[in-house]
Amino acid sequence: MDVIIWFFLLEFIGIISVPIMFKLCIGLKDRGYSLSKVFGLIIFAYTLWIISIFNIFPIVFVTCVFSLLLFSCFSIFIFWRSRKEIIKYFHTHWRGFLIMESLFGFVFIVFLFYRGWDSGINHTEQLMDFMYFNETLTTERGIPKDLWLSGYTVAYYYFGYWVMSILAKTSNVISGVSYNLSLVTIPALSAVGVYGLVYNMVYYLPKKGISIFIGLFSSYCLVFLANIVGL
């Protein structure tokens, strides 16, 4: 159930970001769809980070849900103003969006099984990672504290941990599970992101369909080919 909640939260954040990306990425063939999940996550997490830094509200489940609802309302407003243009575009290019969602789901499932095979958090930098992740997860106000140096804030770039901890807070998934789901999410987002980047760059090549192949091959190179050094 934790996996399902996490996955659909990612999908929801991606969907509500689509109208905004559609208006921002006019020059891209996919209108920013490939980056909608990443964009939504960054805006969502950064807004809550600002709220935390200025001690406006405690960063808890209710605050996360309320911020997500406000983000949704803004997105609905954008969609309503451009609904005819957006619907027409998606009706014409739905196959491309289906490819991107299938790619995201496929990589997510592959790495879900990979992490499920060995989900221990017990080697190399994982102990440090887990400390930073837990501290950003439990922080309600201000900069996260350093659990290994009492009384001090973390002396490390922690925004990536913050982004994933916001997902964990919003989905109410415990830290051990959400840490592993974060490691599943990153390659899935990366696969779609690099696909969109390359697809938009080579879309106007003369041979039909070559842009999709090159985009998928780029995802394969980034997510899978780069990890076979052991083999």
Q: What is the pLDDT of residues 172-190, one digit of tens each?
A: 888 888 988 998 999 999 9
* Helices 126-138, 175-202: inter-axial angle, 10-degree rounding: 100
Whose tokens are 């309600």? That residue is: 140
Q: Determine the pLDDT at residue 142.
A: 79
| Burial (CB count within 10 angstroms: exposed 0-12, middle 13-18, buried 19+), residue 227 | exposed
User: Measuring CA to CA, which residue among 26, 30, 8, 6 is closest to residue 202?
Assistant: 30
**Per-residue pLDDT averaged across 28-42, rounded?**
88
For the chain, give the percent of residues with pLDDT over 70. 98
Distance from C-alpha of 65 to C-alpha of 105, rounded to nearest angstrom: 24
Distance from C-alpha of 179 to C-alpha of 127, rounded to nearest angstrom: 11
User: Measuring CA to CA, which residue among 198, 185, 176 is closest to residue 7?
Assistant: 185
Residue 230, pLDDT above cutoff 70: no
DSSP codes, 86-119: HHHHHHHHHHHHHHHHHHHHHHHHHHHHHHHHS-
Whose tokens are 């989905």? That residue is: 171
Please tell me the pTM assigned to this model: 0.87
Lookup: tokens for 146: 């350093």
- Residue range 83-114, pLDDT digits in tens: 888 888 888 878 888 989 999 999 999 989 88
